[in-house]
Every structure is written in structure tokens, then in C-alpha cells.
């Protein structure tokens, strides 16, 4: 068995890539999958903080690439979840310290030891993004329901297509059903109409994401948080299960719209 490499990227910064990587990692590990998360955001590392592993860093990705440490030495194993490991980014270097070929080699060395390799991409479309995308077997795009974030997601999807990767899947993060209902926020269907890729999860705006990230205990460890459950469902979909999309409060428009659409006798598609 060889691992599947999934790159989590977005274009726009701050939309939730690191949060998503950490939580999908935790959710997959909780289902018994062996997972390695790689922080490819060199110079701005924070996956380690969100996972609560910061104080155990000895070596980082640049040490591995430059031969100062073996991959096995640099990987940090999560005490709560022995199936979960993380390779931290270097904080003192910049993105050019690693190139796409080195990323390919690194992931190839890891593939036989885990089931999933999750790569947390930096924002942007430059060097760091190209590093993160190079070894990807699957790509997950994170966006928030904001026009600028969706625009950047669209740009990234174009670049992923140009890199001849399979069609990416979408996570819509920080959805606020109340705002959508008032017409103050793009609805899921609006985003999907523009991006035209498959949805793999919707994560609601949830304060517990912020509090849990600050504590270094990802929300996916918490079965009571709405957002935690959202990540559990995403992990199940990644594993190929057909999990229905939860209808968050006020968020029934998606279903209604589709029903109307099928009934419309003149509907030739939209």
C-alpha cells in the first residue's frame, strides 16, 4: 500500500488551510489511518501550533531536504493519536529553500509508511504553492464564501488543471447560515456555480475552532463541536464514503433550489 498525497491550498491567505489540514489529519487518524501532515508554509510555520506540537520540534523540512536530519528523525508523532505525525516547516528560512523535486522525493520516501500525506500549502501562486502541489495525488481547495476568496480559488483551480492534476475538490469554510439567509453572504450554490468543482465539505463558522487552535487541540478531537463533526464527515468522504451533506441551520436553500430545478419543465441546465 502506498500513501495518497492530498494538498490543501486556497490562493487567498487566512481562509483556513492550516485549520483544515490539522483537522482532516486528526479525523483520519481517529479512524485508524496513518497520516503524515507536512507544513509546506516555510517561513510562516503554524501547523505545529494548531496541532499542539510546537514544543517538540527538533528538526524541520529544510533540515531533511538539506540532509542534516533523516525524515524519521524530523517527523513528530502526536501523543494523543499515535497514527498522526507531522513534519514541521522551517521558521528561519524562506520558500526557496525547498524545490518541487525535493518535495517529490520527500513524499516518495514517506509513501510506504503511511496511508495519507496531507500537505498544508502556503497562500499565493508562487514558489511555495508549486512546491505544495508538485507531489499531490488529490487537491483540496479551501475557500470562504467571499467574492475575493472565491476569485482566488478559481485562479488556483486553473493552475491545478494546468499542472495536470485531477480535478480538485472544494471545502467551503466559515459558512454563516444566518448571513446567507439575509443575502449578505454567497450561498453554497453560488460558489459551486462559479467554481464548478465537487464539494467535499462545508465547515460552519465556529468559535471552538479558534479556542481549540489556541489550545493546540484541533476541534476534530471534539465530538460535540459542529465544526469537529464537519471534519469527521470530510474524512469519511475522503475515504470514499457517501456521507450526506449536513443541512446547517437556515441552510436548506441548496436542496430546495435543486428540487425546483428538476421540476422546471423548461430547465435545460444552468
Ligand X SMILES: Nc1ncnc2c1ncn2[C@@H]1O[C@H](COP(=O)(O)OP(=O)(O)OP(=O)(O)O)[C@@H](O)[C@H]1O
Give the interface with ligand X as residue ranges (CB under 6 A).
10, 13-19, 41, 123, 173-174, 203, 205-206, 209-210, 213, 227
Q: How far is the CB of 163 from ligand X (least distance, A)?
A: 20
For cell 527538533, what's the residue? 58
| Residue numbers 162-181 binding other proteins by CB under 8 A | 162-164
3-state secondary structure 118-168: EEECCCCCCHHHHHHHCCCCEEEEEECCCHHHHHHHHHHHHHHHHCCCCCC
Is residue 20 part of the contact set for Mg ion (CB under 5 A)? no
Q: Which lies closer to Mg ion via its Cβ, residue 12 or residue 17?
A: 17
Among 57, 69, 159, 217, binds other proteins (CB under 8 A): 159
Rounded to the nearest 10 degrees, how much is the dihedral formed by the CA atoms of 40, 200, 85, 215? 90
Is residue 157 part of the contact set for other proteins (CB under 8 A)? yes
Is residue 127 part of the contact set for other proteins (CB under 8 A)? no
3-state secondary structure 6-59: EEEECCCCCCCHHHHHHHHHHHHHHCCCCEEEEECCCCCCCHHHHHCCHHHCCC
Q: Which lies closer to other proteins via its Cβ, residue 164 or residue 242?
A: 164
- Return the C-alpha cell found at 161: 488543471
Q: Which lies closer to ligand X via its Cβ, residue 100 or residue 216?
A: 216
Compute how many residues bind other proteins; rule: CB under 8 A.
Answer: 15
- Return the C-alpha cell found at 116: 495519507
Helix axes 17-30, 207-215, angle to 10 degrees: 80
Burial class of residue 254 (count of CB atoms within 10 Å of its CB; 0-12, 13-18, 19+) = middle
User: Which residue stretch of 46-54, 59-67, 73-81, 154-162 sits at the interface with other proteins (rule: CB under 8 A)?
Assistant: 154-162
Which helix (H) or strand (E) covers residue 87, if one does? strand 84-87
| Residue numbers 191-210 binding other proteins by CB under 8 A | 194, 196
Q: How far is the CB of 154 from Mg ion (least distance, A)?
A: 20
- Return the C-alpha cell found at 183: 443575502
Q: How far is the CB of 30 from other proteins (least distance, A)?
A: 35
Q: How far is the CB of 155 from other proteins (least distance, A)?
A: 4
Is residue 161 part of the contact set for other proteins (CB under 8 A)? yes
Among 13, 82, 158, 166, binds other proteins (CB under 8 A): 158
Residue 10 near residue 195 (C-beta atoms within 8 A): no
Give residues in contact with other proteins (CB under 8 A).
Answer: 125, 130, 151-152, 154-155, 157-159, 161-164, 194, 196
Amino acid at each position: 500500500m502506498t500513501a495518497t498525497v492530498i494538498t490543501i491550498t486556497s490562493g487567498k491567505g487566512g481562509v483556513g488551510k492550516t485549520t483544515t489540514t490539522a483537522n482532516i489529519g486528526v479525523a483520519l487518524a481517529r479512524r485508524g489511518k496513518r497520516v503524515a501532515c507536512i507544513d509546506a508554509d516555510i517561513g510562516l510555520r503554524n501547523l505545529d501550533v494548531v496541532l499542539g506540537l510546537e514544543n517538540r520540534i527538533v528538526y524541520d523540512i529544510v533540515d531533511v531536504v538539506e540532509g542534516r536530519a533523516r525524515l524519521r528523525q524530523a517527523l513528530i508523532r502526536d501523543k494523543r493519536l499515535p497514527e498522526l505525525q507531522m513534519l514541521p516547516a522551517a521558521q528561519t528560512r524562506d520558500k526557496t529553500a525547498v524545490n518541487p523535486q525535493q518535495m517529490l522525493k520527500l513524499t516518495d520516501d514517506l509513501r510506504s509508511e503511511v496511508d495519507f500525506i496531507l500537505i498544508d500549502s502556503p497562500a499565493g501562486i508562487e514558489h511555495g504553492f508549486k512546491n505544495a502541489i508538485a507531489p499531490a495525488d488529490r487537491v483540496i481547495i479551501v475557500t470562504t464564501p467571499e467574492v475575493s476568496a472565491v476569485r482566488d480559488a478559481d485562479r488556483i483551480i486553473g493552475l491545478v488543471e494546468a499542472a495536470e492534476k485531477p480535478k480538485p475538490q472544494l471545502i467551503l469554510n466559515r459558512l454563516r447560515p444566518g448571513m446567507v439567509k439575509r443575502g449578505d453572504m454567497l450561498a453554497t450554490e453560488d460558489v459551486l456555480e462559479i467554481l464548478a468543482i465537487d464539494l467535499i465539505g462545508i465547515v460552519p463558522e465556529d468559535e471552538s475552532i479558534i479556542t481549540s487552535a489556541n489550545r493546540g487541540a484541533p476541534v476534530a478531537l471534539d465530538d460535540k463541536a459542529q465544526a469537529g463533526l464537519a471534519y469527521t464527515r470530510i474524512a469519511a468522504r475522503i475515504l470514499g464514503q457517501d456521507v450526506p451533506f449536513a443541512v446547517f441551520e437556515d441552510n436548506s436553500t441548496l436542496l430546495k433550489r435543486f428540487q425546483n430545478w428538476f421540476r422546471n419543465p423548461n430547465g435545460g441546465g444552468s
